Amino acid sequence: MKTLWAFLLGVLLTALFLFGIEAGVAQDPVKAHPEMFKVLLENERVRVIDDLVPAGAKVSMHSHPEYVVYPLSSYRMKFIFPDGSSRIVDIQEGTARYVPGMIHAEENVGTTDAHALLVEIKPPK
């Protein structure tokens, strides 16, 4: 019986650890990096964020629902995904794009600050 309790405790601790990792992966960028992500407008349908990542800065793993990004400057960003893969993207000022939602970390690998407006689209209630 003592072995069963030890096993169940081990399973519970493992589940709590894995849940903690998942919760950390999907954190809100505004809460994690308030110095870089500022909410300009929020209502029941959208959240508009002023996103300013200085050259050389890193942003920890976070998530966004589907969103539109509008770059206010041109910059080079490295996106790192939960599976460990990464991609470097050159972003052009004024080129809006739709993103279906994602979990990622990022690093501004360019020489200029990355400045963009993000319009996160909330699911209807």
- Asked if pLDDT for residue 34 goes beyond 80, the answer is yes
Count of structural domains within the chain:
1
The 3-state secondary structure of the chain reads: CHHHHHHHHHHHHHHHHHHHHHHHHCCCHHHHCCCCEEEEEECCCEEEEEEEECCCCEEEEEEECCEEEEECCCEEEEEECCCCCEEEEEECCCCCEEECCEEEEEEECCCCCEEEEEEEECCCC
What mean pLDDT is predicted for residues 73-78? 98
Query: Considering the entire predicted model, what is its pTM?
Result: 0.77
Question: From the centroid of its chain, how far is CA 1?
Answer: 45
CATH number at residue 87: 2.60.120.10
Q: Which domain holds residue 112?
A: 2-121
Least confident segment among 3-7, 30-34, 60-64, 118-122: 3-7
The sign of the torsion formed by the CA atoms of 101, 103, 109, 115 equals positive
- Give the model's pLDDT for residue 24: 44
